Structure 1
């Protein structure tokens, strides 16, 4: 696939993987992207997962023919992008490896070689001349590893964005939900903690004339770039993307679930544009995390369990706070037959979070929902709307 006249796609699609990074469920596989820039000097941009070594090398040889690459540029050292450095350096012994110093340290750790005899160490502001293509290197530390570089091609105006602007899903399967859904889950699952660092990179990108974004996962983005950049700005600044209320609950015998469904009904009846209802025991945790960051108002509902919240709720809140959850309004529903303490426990989890406000109304159920609880739910809905 041609990205531009001189830039060819040589990545692969993984249809066998079930979990990305050992935790993110994948329904449509995963893409590991790699690119070749053809000029007076030839550069290969990153490699792919170890399970696709032969296919990747075959893709490169098909593009190069009898030519040989002059450079392998390593933007990111996660093994799904670096696993074939040894393969390519063995195949082309005169090829120079280009990366950050921290990446070379990681190469030694992962693969036993830091290529001291054939490497080019680059950092923010350095350039590499290929001919008519000049590559500018952009430091992107902690997006989402510390060694990460992004690369801008001044000729074709392509930003090679490493893991930035990536998404779940193989590139040869159409995603009926569009780009944003799986890109959002990918972002908040993997990069979400590092909003400040992403904002820093976006500021650098704003000074570039970008026509194409070429990430290491997901499709090459070559149209309506403002849409993708605006979403990344919202996500990385912990802004609100969509109007609505997200409800996440942990229920044992169904009474807490019933209260959440009642709240959903009331909110919708009152004109709430969207209510996302999530059962923490049954739905993909990372889908629920995605919803929590998408909306500005959330309700956490839990039974009292061992004098605190239910374990699924604790895991969910931990996932939010470790990703710097902020700028949100939170309401609580708790249930406890004799000593309801879940709301207090849930609220305490956010004591170190920034710009979190709490509703005045907390719905407290003792066993089964009653008319007083319905009045509390009405009041909670009114606060949100």
Structure 2
């Protein structure tokens, strides 16, 4: 990708990854992802974050195109995850006098991942680094989403270099800035990035948003996704909503089914919810849909209903995988329903009850469990479960 001016002497350096299938080797990225770095050319030159290691050669060439034979004075490390620090060693080798800039938690990661840093500058909240015309101020935002995470605020142009915060899945296909692209594409990719990567740390995100609120921000340069310069409220308002567990009325139904009996139960529940006026209903087969997409809707909708057959006296494995992911990310403020079936011995619903105890969501109705195919009595119980969920959602 070409480098692009954010202002006269501040440059975006970004690279599109369309080859990687799983981000962090967990989360599907069918639309790829970008790795974004930034460089400020002043009396002193500062590089802000680097890129994933597979782009090192092109990255070094782009830097040289911009600064020629000059040296880089500072490398600001907002976040040490290797998709942003992957070129760190190459940068230090090419510019051996460079000073690494980080907070008190940064340099342990540098040493553990790459090397013992020779030249370092330890910064803290409100510390200001003078480059000439440009002044960089630092604020730590720990656990958004690593403990060393910080942001860098460029005071002259009022640009927030935000690390992973306000980032997105999806490559940048020509458009770099938010006003050059159709944001409808990034609606799901931004949220899925947040829920999958940052969602576990919503209280920390809320603290970060409050900490950054006093700053006048005219542009946000994240390390993934578009640079925000026109529609800043588009991403800021969404981070506020997502991280405060503000949910829409709707129900996510997740099931596992070997021979269709549990799926039939899910369909009965869904039809009743629709009859009751619930319009946002999402049904997922846990064996087909990656948890990344299911979790995204769990962060959208207040109702969650999960069904599992017994499988070797326990949960159906793919359902177990989904609820394990949900427990790990720990979203709040949901209503819960449980159903399932078995052939000769239980285990599915029994373990979903344990999930209910651990996740601490409000159970709207007693779990419904069938032996074999769905029969009239338990169909009535499923309708009552759906009614109880609708009553809760419509009472708000």
Return the TM-score normalized by structure 1: 0.93
The one of 365, 369, 376 aligned to 2:381? 376
Q: Which residue of 2 aligns with 1:202?
A: 209
The one of 54, 57, 62 aligned to 1:59? 62
| Residue 77 of structure 1 pairs with residue 80 of structure 2 | yes
* 3-state SS of paired residue (2:309): strand
Q: Which residue of 2 aligns with 1:276?
A: 282
* 3-state SS of paired residue (1:350): helix
| Residue 318 of structure 1 pairs with residue 324 of structure 2 | yes
Q: Which residue of 1 aligns with 2:294?
A: 288
* 3-state SS of paired residue (1:2): strand
Residues 262-314 of structure 1, C-alpha deviation per residue, up to 9 Å, x if partnerless?
22222223321211111111111211111112211010011122333212222
The one of 82, 86, 89 aligned to 2:89? 86
Q: Which residue of 2 aligns with 1:353?
A: 359
Q: Which residue of 2 aligns with 1:19?
A: 22
Q: Which runs of 5+ in 1 are unaligned?
A: none
Query: More displaced, 200-209 or 91-100?
Result: 91-100
State how many pairs are aligned.
381
Q: Which residue of 2 aligns with 1:111?
A: 114
Q: Is this contact kept in 1: 2:29–2:169, CA < 8 A?
A: yes
Q: Is this contact kept in 1: 2:133–2:156, CA < 8 A?
A: yes
* 3-state SS of paired residue (2:365): strand
The one of 356, 363, 369 aligned to 1:364? 369
Q: Which runs of 5+ in 2 are unaligned?
A: 175-180, 391-396
**Aligned residues: CA RMSD:** 1.9
Q: Which residue of 1 aligns with 2:167?
A: 166
Offset of residue 129 of structure 1: 1.3
Q: Is this contact kept in 1: 2:80–2:106, CA < 8 A?
A: yes
Write the mapping of 1:209-224 to structure 2, written as runs, cut at 5 A.
Answer: 209-224=216-231
Q: Structure 2: how far apart are the matches of 1:39 and 1:347?
A: 61
Residues 177/262 of structure 1: CA separation in 2 closer, same or farther (3 Å cut) = farther
Q: Is this contact kept in 2: 1:105–1:114, CA < 8 A?
A: no
Q: Structure 2: how far apart are the matches of 1:338 and 1:315?
A: 23
Residues 346/177 of structure 1: CA separation in 2 closer, same or farther (3 Å cut) = farther
| Residue 250 of structure 1 pairs with residue 251 of structure 2 | no
